[in-house]
Amino acid sequence: MNGDPYSFEFKIKELQQLPYHITNNHHFNQVYQSYYNCFTAFRRISQIKTLEENQRFCTFIRNVLDDHLVVLPHLMMGSLEISMLQSLEPSRLDEFMSSMIKSRVSRRVIMNQHISMSKSFSESQYSPTDEMTKPPDYIGDSFQYCSPHSHIRTSYDLIIRFMQSVYPTLPMPELILAGDDVKFQFLTNHLDYIITEILRNSLKATIENFIQNNNGNQKPPPVTVEITSSKEEIAFRFSDQGGGIPFELTESVWSFAKTPELAQVYLKNLHDLSDVDLQRRPRILEKDLLENEALNETDNIENTILNNIGQMELSGDEDDRSILKALASRPFESKLGISLPLCRVYTDYWNGILEWSSVEGYGSDVFL
């Protein structure tokens, strides 16, 4: 955890180096103030020498995690407002957003892992047999063994259930799943998010293309997911016949920068999806972060879309798919414009590759 104060310091400097009218954006300024408070609070914490001190430290970082749930929504809204004003070059905005989100992911993974390992150690003191039942390569609750087939089918089922409520009289696209079900350890919420966003796009395009161009077909074409693996890599290919997109738009889908017209629409959708006014949310100050009791400032945004996105770095419990369910069943008309860029940032963070190949008039392949 020694690196966290320095991580905040680097991000504070990065924000300070932006043009003043960018840093002065309300949403970016909220991120700046939150990071500054956390940086100052971290510097006041002395070296941890006892279990009791570590317990207090775990409470502190829980407060930090809760306070920063709205950092990602603020970054998303800020980037759209900057796009509306066209006050920053698209390439620089993408670079800034990627850097901020990757740094945020890193901090949250480390903090959650520290809490998880501390809890595991504390429980082992009272029940040593629990420690013996864990696999030899156990690295904390944050990283769990994944079954690609299970995660893909779960995402598909949730999306189809939602689509059936939108199109109750139409047949749904089938899922063809090919390849080995290779088990691997990963942060399951990130994997679920990436898979769900890709499948949502494929299934949505397929059913809409079927409605528009149905030439007497009884049902829409299937969506195919192929999985291949080697000793060091696992590759997914998502294939659909949803009509594809123009070649000149292929790269723009990965960018946080939007045209002013699209940015205005996406920003409105973001506000509509949230049940909380972020501008009125009380700011947690340095003194609050250092309190020994966990704060409950985020209770008022529980179960909103933005809160679910903000909790993406929590461990994914197989029995609790509330985050995945909320993301999979958000309205199709509520386009955010940041889903695929966010997927690529998560993929880049884990040293992966996410590419899109499309044939206009036929369909698309997405490679993960």
Q: What is the pLDDT of residue 136?
A: 62
Ranking 35-44, 62-71, 336-345 by mean pLDDT, the lowest is 62-71
User: Are 206 and 164 found together in one domain?
Assistant: yes
- Would 81 be classed as within a structural domain? yes
Local confidence band at 134 (pLDDT 50, 70, 90 cut-offs) = low
User: Are 61 and 192 found together in one domain?
Assistant: no
**Does residue 73 register a pLDDT over 90?**
no
Local confidence band at 279 (pLDDT 50, 70, 90 cut-offs) = very low
Containing structural domain, residue 229? 144-250+353-367
Mean local confidence (pLDDT), 171-183? 92
User: Are 11 and 109 found together in one domain?
Assistant: yes
CA-nearest of 312, 44, 337 to 186 is 312
- Would 288 be classed as within a structural domain? no
CATH number at residue 188: 3.30.565.10
**Does residue 240 register a pLDDT over 60?**
yes
**Does residue 357 register a pLDDT over 60?**
yes
The token duo for 134 is 């864990």
For strands 223-229 and 234-240, give the pairing: antiparallel
User: Are 238 and 314 found together in one domain?
Assistant: no
CATH number at residue 314: 1.20.140.20
User: Are 158 and 176 found together in one domain?
Assistant: yes
User: Are 221 and 158 found together in one domain?
Assistant: yes
Could you tell me which residue, 320 or 289, shows the higher pLDDT?
289
User: Are 60 and 106 found together in one domain?
Assistant: yes
- Would 326 be classed as within a structural domain? yes
Q: What is the pLDDT of residue 139?
A: 61
CA-nearest of 208, 229, 195 to 324 is 195
Local confidence band at 333 (pLDDT 50, 70, 90 cut-offs) = confident
- Would 134 be classed as within a structural domain? no
The CA distance from 342 to 105, in Å, is 11
pTM for the full predicted model: 0.83
Number of domains comprising the chain: 2
User: Are 120 and 158 found together in one domain?
Assistant: no
Helix/strand/coil for 99: helix
Helix and strand totals (H; E) in the chain:
14, 7
- Would 347 be classed as within a structural domain? no
